[in-house]
């Protein structure tokens, strides 16, 4: 036990002095989470507002076909932030950037509508251009208003009131609680992030304590110390695990703070509360620990094969993604209903438990299944890592 602690303390000291590890362990979750939850939505909101406020030049072809429409557009131009430009060819005008979007009015539009027939207006835009899409939305909104105006005129001409079109009103009642809505918001990203930091948080340490030790030529010196290989690998594993859990803890804290701050920004009307009961924290951290044991053991086993830090990085990065991606994809599949067998799938079970915990909707037999199977997978992965550390062909691969 003494040797395990000695190796562990040394690896932790080495880790806290390694800028790369600190970057991944502390800075990434601290910066990444607020950026993702507050920064990007805020930036998108600002950009959208900017884009909507900017005057969009709208092209018109066939303006003589509907003086009524032209008059309506001119009246609404200032309010809808558009400027009208008569052009000959809409496609060319959009391509050349003269206008952002445009409308083509069918022949004799006004006359046709007056006779009670259907007129036609085509909206031209470039779906690969955000400014063009914004201009299209403005045109669409104006045309909706114009349509309603024409409908009202037709109904009046027939002696009917426009309210005939609205025989009833509908509303919606959200039965979810503020806490559930807060949990749902957290549940969108947090499970994936916790899984990611459990894997990535300790990756550099896993590389450093295995392949890094080989590259520095310190491994052999360590092997001639009177500590068993089991003690050495356990000390190293505990260091990788600690780093992963610190990373998970920081990302959890950062995500909750970001959700509280970002939630009030994204849902200014309220109806959103972040309350994390102690039981949720215990379940999330416990599950994250099992997940980290499994992923860290896999990382240590894989990195042990490598002769250098760079080679280990080449192995560990794809392995981490291979481990995490299927779980994330499974989680985001449309129409996916969680069932008991799903709580036995490695990593997916962890993500499901994270989600349940955040929603506060535990089904204890599901949690028990996830904990039991994850503990089993974690134990197997750890045993494999320890066994590999005992193999000369792995430790001294390529002459060691």
Partner 1 sequence: MIEAAELTKDFGSLRAVESVSFECKPGEIFGLLGPNGAGKTTTLRMISTVLQPTRGTARVLGFDVQRDARKVRANIGVLSGETGLYGRLTPFEIVAYYGRLHGIDRETIEHRADQLFKMLELEQVRDRQTENLSKGTKQKVAIAQSLIHDPKVFLFDEPTSGLDVMAARTVHDFVFRCRQEGRTIMFCTHVMSEAEKMCDRIAIIDKGRIAIVGSKEEILDQTNASSLEEAFLAVVGRRAE
Which residues make up the interface to partner 1 (CB under 8 A)? 2-3, 6-7, 10, 13-14, 17-18, 216-228, 392-393, 396
Tell me the closest approach of the beta carbon of residue 228 to partner 1, in angstroms: 7
Give the number of other Cβ atoms within 10 Å of residue 287's Cβ: 26
| 264: Cα separation from own chain's centroid | 19
| 165: Cα separation from own chain's centroid | 42
User: Which is closer to partner 1, CB of 225 or CB of 279?
Assistant: 225
Token pair in block for residue 274: 């972040």
Q: Which residue has the tokens 């990756």?
A: 203
Strands (E) located in the chain:
56-61, 82-86, 101-105, 121-124
Identify which of 255, 350, 253, 343 has the alpha carbon closest to the alpha carbon of residue 293: 350
Tell me the closest approach of the beta carbon of residue 31 to partner 1, in angstroms: 24
User: Which is closer to partner 1, CB of 3 or CB of 344?
Assistant: 3
User: Which is closer to partner 1, CB of 15 or CB of 320?
Assistant: 15
Per 3-state DSSP, the chain is made up of helix, strand and coil in percentages (nearest 5) of 70, 5, 20
Tell me the closest approach of the beta carbon of residue 315 to partner 1, in angstroms: 22
d(CA 211, CA 306): 6
Token pair in block for residue 328: 């994330």
User: Which is closer to partner 1, CB of 213 or CB of 356?
Assistant: 213
Q: b vs e for 107-132, b when ≥16 Cβ sit within 10 Å of the residue's Cβ?
A: ebbbebbeeeeebebebbbbeeeebb
Token pair in block for residue 333: 């599949």
Identify which of 221, 203, 370 has the alpha carbon closest to the alpha carbon of residue 288: 370
User: Which is closer to partner 1, CB of 21 or CB of 244?
Assistant: 21
Tell me the closest approach of the beta carbon of residue 388 to partner 1, in angstroms: 16
Give me the half-sphere count of Cα atoms (radius 13 Å) on the Cβ side of residue 244. Answer: 32
Tell me the closest approach of the beta carbon of residue 2 to partner 1, in angstroms: 7
Q: b vs e for 207-234, b when ≥16 Cβ sit within 10 Å of the residue's Cβ?
A: bbbbbbbbbeeebeeeeeeebeeebbbb
* Greatest CA separation for the chain: 101
d(CA 27, CA 20): 10
User: Which is closer to partner 1, CB of 34 or CB of 235?
Assistant: 235
User: Which is closer to partner 1, CB of 115 or CB of 224?
Assistant: 224
User: Which is closer to partner 1, CB of 189 or CB of 227?
Assistant: 227
User: Which is closer to partner 1, CB of 367 or CB of 395?
Assistant: 395
d(CA 210, CA 63): 74
Tell me the closest approach of the beta carbon of residue 13 to partner 1, in angstroms: 7
Give the residues across from 59 on adjacent strands.
85, 102
Tell me the closest approach of the beta carbon of residue 94 to partner 1, in angstroms: 59
Tell me the closest approach of the beta carbon of residue 310 to partner 1, in angstroms: 17
User: Which is closer to partner 1, CB of 182 or CB of 212?
Assistant: 212
Tell me the closest approach of the beta carbon of residue 280 to partner 1, in angstroms: 37
Tell me the closest approach of the beta carbon of residue 32 to partner 1, in angstroms: 25
């Amino acid at each position: 036990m003494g040797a395990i602690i000695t190796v562990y303390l040394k690896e932790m000291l080495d880790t806290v002095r390694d800028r790369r590890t600190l970057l991944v362990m502390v800075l990434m979750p601290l910066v990444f989470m607020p950026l993702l939850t507050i920064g990007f939505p805020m930036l998108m909101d600002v950009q959208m507002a900017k884009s909507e406020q900017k005057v969009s030049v709208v092209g018109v072809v066939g303006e003589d076909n509907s003086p009524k429409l032209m008059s309506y557009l001119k009246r609404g131009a200032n309010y809808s932030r558009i400027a009208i430009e008569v052009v000959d060819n809409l496609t060319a005008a959009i391509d050349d950037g003269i206008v952002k979007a445009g409308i083509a009015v069918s022949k004799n539009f006004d006359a046709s509508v007056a006779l009670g027939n259907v007129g036609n207006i085509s909206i031209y835009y470039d779906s690969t251009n955000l400014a063009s899409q914004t201009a299209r939305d403005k045109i669409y909104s104006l045309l909706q208003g114009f349509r309603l105006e024409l409908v009202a005129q037709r109904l009046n001409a027939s002696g009917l009131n426009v309210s005939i079109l609205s025989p009833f009103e509908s509303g919606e009642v959200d039965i979810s609680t503020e806490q559930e809505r807060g949990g749902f918001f957290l549940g969108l990203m947090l499970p994936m992030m916790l899984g990611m930091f459990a894997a990535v948080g300790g990756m550099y340490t896993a590389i450093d304590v295995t392949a890094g030790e080989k590259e520095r030529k310190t491994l052999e010196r360590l092997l001639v110390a009177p500590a068993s290989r089991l003690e050495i690998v356990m000390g190293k594993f505990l260091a990788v695990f600690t780093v992963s859990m610190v990373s998970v803890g920081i990302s959890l804290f950062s995500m909750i703070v970001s959700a509280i701050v970002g939630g009030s920004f994204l849902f200014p009307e309220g109806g959103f509360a972040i309350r994390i009961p102690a039981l949720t924290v215990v379940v999330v951290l416990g599950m994250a620990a099992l997940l980290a044991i499994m992923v860290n053991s896999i990382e240590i086993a894989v990195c042990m094969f490598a002769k250098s830090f760079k080679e280990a990085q080449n192995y560990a990065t794809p392995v981490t993604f291979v481990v995490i991606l299927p779980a994330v994809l499974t989680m985001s599949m449309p129409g996916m209903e969680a069932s008991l067998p799903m709580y036995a799938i490695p990593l997916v079970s962890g993500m499901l438990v994270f989600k349940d915990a955040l929603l506060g909707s535990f089904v204890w037999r599901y949690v028990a299944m996830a904990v039991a199977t994850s503990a089993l997978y974690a134990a197997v992965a750890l045993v494999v890592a320890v066994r590999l550390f005992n193999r000369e062909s792995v430790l001294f691969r390529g002459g060691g």
